[in-house]
Structure 1
Amino acid sequence: MITQNELIDAIQSGIIDSHETYLKWSYDEWLWNAPEYLMTVKIAQKIDEIDKNKFITLEDNVEKILDIANAKGRGKLPTKIRSNGRFDIVVWWANGHPRAIIEVKNSVYKFANIEEDIIRICKTLNRKSADSKIQYGFIAFYICNAYKNNAKEKLFNKINKIYEQAKKLILEENLNIEKYIPENYPYSQDDMNSYSSVVLLIKR
């Protein structure tokens, strides 16, 4: 069984690989210029490289996933689940049930950029939670910014501000959140431009 930490490492690796790949393809353009699906595919590839039983789907229908996960129940689904939409990545148990949801975001500059996806994951995890096979959700995002100086420190502070806003919302939903940033990140080569991958883990 894939561990939670293995999933986090794969997600982080996928985002960093996306940045480095786009640098190469575009002759030094940063990832914020790239389409978001590059990150989605790279993250899925890194998860696939974990040599354990699982399978992965992309852009899977929300209502279908809830149904298969025993989380749909009767009655109308909450509007903020956006049941006609799609989850960016779904990681499945080997027995055919959805296990984890991953929502991917490029160019995150403020909490509002990820707020709707956080709410969707919270509503999903709280839907028939006693029966649901879905264990947790991830917000996986790329963030970068330019500053006059102290770029690494200032971007780190921005990430923490976003995290604290997310934490407040998630605690109101009676769920838990953890923040993960790779070692030695945010990265800055010139003290004026900095970027990082960030993973927010949301769980019961």
Structure 2
Amino acid sequence: MPGPTRSRKLVEAMIRSGEKAAAHFCQISGGEWFDEAPEYFLSTYVARSAGNHENTFALLEVQVDQTRKEAGASRRGRAANHERRNGRFDVVLYWANGNPRAAVEIKSPIWDVTEQQIRPDIDRLCSALLANSSSTFQFGVFLFYASVGKPERKHDNATQRMRDLLERIEEKAIEWTARRGAEVILIPGAVHKGKEDEDGAWSIASLVITRTGGKRSFLTT
């Protein structure tokens, strides 16, 4: 029997599926940017992509507390506010045996590095991953759609502005996860432009959260 899909391959496939979601939304909406799409539209494409891989399953809107218990990532005591155990993960990926492999949080749209918009999901993923080093969680994923609008100055480049935004998001995520004892890897998607470069640009990317020292394992297994 084939083994589980490699972690990086799985995340890259989810990004590509997100790009398909953006293209399909543009088609059915008569040309609207993905900024106008409900976040759940992206979540369904991501879950479908993951669940299509060998020995990998995916569910949408799974309770945080239930998922952590199934993964062996529960801990005693009062839950911190950022854990939001009564909430739901947008998507949960499962190993072939039914145990949780990764929690996925989706955010769309992102226009700037806003702590209130990004950090709560990062903190919740860190809490689940770090609660027990022996849990079945392998990594966490913050997958997002980001866009930049029409440049204010004539010679600004929308593609570079999009890359700069991704870099700033990565820098902040590294700062936040380091405080929790975790590491983060940016898996970028392609930068897509409007009909003309001055119309703006968008991209779908993922921040992958691992335990300290887990980057190599994520990239190779």
Q: 1:77 aligns with which of 57, 76, 79?
A: 79
TM-score (norm 1): 0.94
- Structure 2 unaligned regions, length at least 5: 212-221
Paired residue type of 2:135: S
Where does residue 215 of structure 2 map in the other structure?
none
Residues 1:125 and 2:156 are matched in the alignment:
no
Where does residue 34 of structure 2 map in the other structure?
31
**Following the alignment from structure 2 to structure 1, what is the Cα–Cα distance between the partners of residues 17 and 39?**
12
Greater Cα shift, 75-84 or 97-106? 75-84
Where does residue 165 of structure 1 map in the other structure?
172
Aligned 1:141-180 pairs, distance under 5 A: 141-148=144-151, 149-180=156-187
Residues 1:21 and 2:24 are matched in the alignment:
yes
**Following the alignment from structure 2 to structure 1, what is the Cα–Cα distance between the partners of residues 119 and 197?**
29
How far apart are 1:188 and its partner, in Å?
1.6
8 Å Cα contact 2:50-2:57 kept in structure 1: no
Deviation digits for residues 100-123 of structure 1 (CA, Å, limit 9, x no counterpart): 011001111223221110011111
Greater Cα shift, 73-82 or 191-200? 73-82
Q: What's the % identity of the aligned pairs?
A: 28
Q: Which secondary structure does the structure 2 equivalent of 1:41 belong to?
A: helix
Over aligned residue pairs, what C-alpha RMSD do you find? 1.2
**Following the alignment from structure 1 to structure 2, what is the Cα–Cα distance between the partners of residues 197 and 73?**
33
**Following the alignment from structure 2 to structure 1, what is the Cα–Cα distance between the partners of residues 52 and 136?**
23
How far apart are 1:78 and its partner, in Å?
2.4
- Structure 1 unaligned regions, length at least 5: none
**Following the alignment from structure 1 to structure 2, what is the Cα–Cα distance between the partners of residues 28 and 126?**
42
Where does residue 191 of structure 1 map in the other structure?
197
**Following the alignment from structure 2 to structure 1, what is the Cα–Cα distance between the partners of residues 126 and 168?**
20
Deviation digits for residues 31-90 of structure 1 (CA, Å, limit 9, x no counterpart): 11010001000011111222x112211100000111111111322222211000000000
Paired residue type of 2:105: E
8 Å Cα contact 1:111-1:166 kept in structure 2: no
How far apart are 1:12 and its partner, in Å?
0.6
How far apart are 1:95 and its partner, in Å?
1.1
**Following the alignment from structure 1 to structure 2, what is the Cα–Cα distance between the partners of residues 81 and 11?**
24
Residues 1:138 and 2:141 are matched in the alignment:
yes
How far apart are 1:179 and its partner, in Å?
0.4
Where does residue 188 of structure 2 map in the other structure?
181
Where does residue 48 of structure 1 map in the other structure?
51
**Following the alignment from structure 2 to structure 1, what is the Cα–Cα distance between the partners of residues 129 and 102?**
10
8 Å Cα contact 1:138-1:200 kept in structure 2: yes
Runs of 4+ in 1 over 3 A off after TM superposition: none
Q: 1:90 aligns with which of 74, 84, 92?
A: 92
Deviation digits for residues 158-202 of structure 1 (CA, Å, limit 9, x no counterpart): 1111110111011111111100112xx212241221000111000
**Following the alignment from structure 2 to structure 1, what is the Cα–Cα distance between the partners of residues 180 and 68?**
18
